[in-house]
Amino acid sequence: ARNNPFGAAAPRKVGITETALRDAHQSIMATRLRTEDMLPVAEALDEVGYHSLEVWGGATFDACMRFLDEDPWERLRQLRRRIRKTKLQMLLRGQNLVGYRHYADDVVREFVRRAVGNGIDIVRIFDALNDLRNAEVAADQVKKEGAHLQMGISYTTSPVHTLDLFARQAQDMVGMGADSICIKDMAGLLSPMDAAALVSAIKARVDVPVQVHSHYTSGLAAMSYLAGIQAGADVVDCAISPFAMGTSQPATETLVAALQRGPYDTGISLEKLLPVSEHFTRLREKYQGQILGMAGVDINILLYQVPGGMYSNLQSQLKEQGALGRLREVLEEVPRVRREMGYPPLVTPTSQIVGTQATMNVLAGERWKVVPKEVRQVFLGYYGRTPAPVDPQVQKKVLGDEKPIVCRPGELLEPELEAARAEVAPWILQPEDVLSQVLFPAVAKDFLPRKFARTTKQDVGLQTLEGEAAYPV
């Protein structure tokens, strides 16, 4: 009984976060873009009128040093120099920062300080288990730096992941100072109906903007954005069309066109997107051989509610063992393992952990007979608090009499900065180099001396470098 058949929420300008330089780039081409590929389009991006540009964090930090021999901090500064009007955004994995383990609190604080100091306006923080304690130090530091704190809810489906749980999480996040909330659907599982319900539930509880982030892997993402917007979402994450869809985000142009001249218009003109689209089309051609990810839709995600990457991992694990025929059994074991492990969202790293355990439960012929170290660590509480309690009998089988920790995992870590600073002292060109060392010591031990030599035009001395680190002067 409404006049307008399009949308329940009040008219308002919807914002778009462009992910081309971070998530899209990570999802469809494994973060192999170089800074020189990005800079020529920076001004055009700045002219569009995006809500923000996601340009940093996630896997790009590691990839910069590891594969491209580039300083991620310098990339950020270069972008900031050219993008003067639009907010720059980054993704931070809570206490994991942009790495793959928990770092000590001093590292977390220093990293946030430097990220904001080098130009980041909006920091999106999330934790794979939605244990907010893993986000708390980083969040506190973002507030101290005066940046915009966006906190992300790792979206998943399970009996305990009710609308109410998510809405309470959003409330807790706002209590921690969150300036906005992101519904982060890494796996592309969020259906339009769930998006509408979830946005409504969160909006009913908190007063901050809500952003929706999804991936196109199951084909749902654009519909889920639309339904989310109709229900009140304020910002959605999109990627310019040559870098969109498949494992990446919905296309920016499509969302702009979909909302044009309506109650949720983005205010962005397609004309201004044209040079951006043309630039990324050229990059797509340049890196043709490195474009990854499928273009279509993966029905298995919909059928088994597992992320596309997890499905293909399980397939190849089983193939290696000559047990591909047991794929279906493993897929049916996944929900059981997930329940017994307290319903972790299936996102890196928990998707790998749950998938491996499910495989072992099937192949070993006895459930929970073989248990990898990472699974033990989940039961020990080192990843944080699981969404529901773990199954006590399985815990007994996995841990024996060992007791799990109950504190915030980061609390147990001694400060790490000083030792790292000493280690890389000869090559330090900027305070940020110490962070690069702490985060990825194996990569940084080659990268930092190489950068030092390149920058100072000094022969760093082959004798001081080990193995592959030798710098060809």
Binding site for Co ion (CB under 5 A): 23
Q: In Å, what is the CA distance from 32 to each residue of 60, 80, 98, 427?
A: 8, 20, 16, 25
Q: How far is the CB of 356 from a second copy (least distance, A)?
A: 25
Q: Which stretch binds a second copy (CB under 8 A): 73-81, 84-92, 216-224, 400-408?
A: 216-224
Q: How far is the CB of 48 from a second copy (least distance, A)?
A: 13
Report helix, strand or coil for 326.
helix
Residue with tokens 């001004």: 43
Does position 292 interact with a second copy (CB under 8 A)? The reply is no
Report helix, strand or coil for 237.
strand
Pull the structure tokens for residue 374: 């990472």
Q: How far is the CB of 315 from a second copy (least distance, A)?
A: 14
Q: Closer to a second copy by CB, 23 or 62: give it.
A: 23
Interacting residue with a second copy among 40, 296, 426, 441 (CB under 8 A):
296
Closest CA to 147 of 180, 169, 121: 121
Q: Which stretch binds a second copy (CB under 8 A): 113-121, 217-225, 367-375, 413-421?
A: 217-225
Give 370-417 as a DSSP string.
Answer: S--HHHHHHHTTTT---SSPPPHHHHHHHHTTPPPP-S-GGGGPPP-H
Q: In Å, what is the CA distance from 104 to each residue of 24, 98, 128, 409?
A: 29, 13, 18, 9
Q: Which stretch binds a second copy (CB under 8 A): 167-175, 245-253, 358-366, 421-429?
A: 245-253
Write the binding mask 178 to 197 for a second copy: x where contact by CB under 8 A, - elsewhere.
-------------xxx--xx
Q: Closer to a second copy by CB, 260 or 348: give it.
A: 260
Length, in residues, of the chain:
473
Tally Cβ neighbours within 10 Å of residue 322.
8
Pull the structure tokens for residue 82: 């050219």
Cα(418)–Cα(124) distance, rounded to whole angstroms?
27
Q: How far is the CB of 246 from a second copy (least distance, A)?
A: 8
| Interaction residues for a second copy, span 257-286 (CB under 8 A) | 257-262, 270-271, 273-274, 277
Does position 223 interact with a second copy (CB under 8 A)? The reply is yes
Q: Closer to Co ion by CB, 270 or 292: give it.
A: 292
Cα(165)–Cα(150) distance, rounded to whole angstroms?
18
Tally Cβ neighbours within 10 Å of residue 419.
12
373 makes contact, choosing from Co ion, a second copy, none, with CB < 5 to 8 Å by partner type, with none
Closest CA to 230 of 199, 184, 276, 254: 199
Q: How far is the CB of 206 from Co ion (least distance, A)?
A: 22
Interacting residue with a second copy among 15, 57, 58, 242 (CB under 8 A):
242
Pull the structure tokens for residue 15: 């914002």
Closest CA to 451 of 65, 99, 77, 67: 65
Q: Closer to Co ion by CB, 125 or 434: give it.
A: 125
Q: Which stretch binds a second copy (CB under 8 A): 142-150, 242-250, 338-346, 382-390?
A: 242-250
Q: Closer to a second copy by CB, 226 or 360: give it.
A: 226
23 makes contact, choosing from Co ion, a second copy, none, with CB < 5 to 8 Å by partner type, with Co ion
Does position 45 interact with a second copy (CB under 8 A)? The reply is no
| Interaction residues for a second copy, span 1-40 (CB under 8 A) | 2, 5-6, 8-9
**18: part of which helix (H) or strand (E)?**
strand 15-18
**432: part of which helix (H) or strand (E)?**
helix 432-439
Q: How far is the CB of 203 from a second copy (least distance, A)?
A: 9
* Bridge partners, residue 154, by sequence: 184
Q: Which stretch binds a second copy (CB under 8 A): 179-187, 225-233, 314-322, 387-395?
A: 225-233
What DSSP character marks residue 430?
S
Q: Closer to a second copy by CB, 275 or 349: give it.
A: 275
Q: Closer to a second copy by CB, 324 or 399: give it.
A: 324
Beta strands in 71-209 (DSSP E): 87-92, 122-126, 148-154, 180-185
Which residues would be at the binding site for a second copy (CB under 8 A)? 2, 5-6, 8-9, 191-193, 196-197, 199-200, 218-220, 222-223, 226-227, 230-232, 241-242, 244-246, 250-251, 253-254, 256-262, 270-271, 273-274, 277, 295-299, 302-303
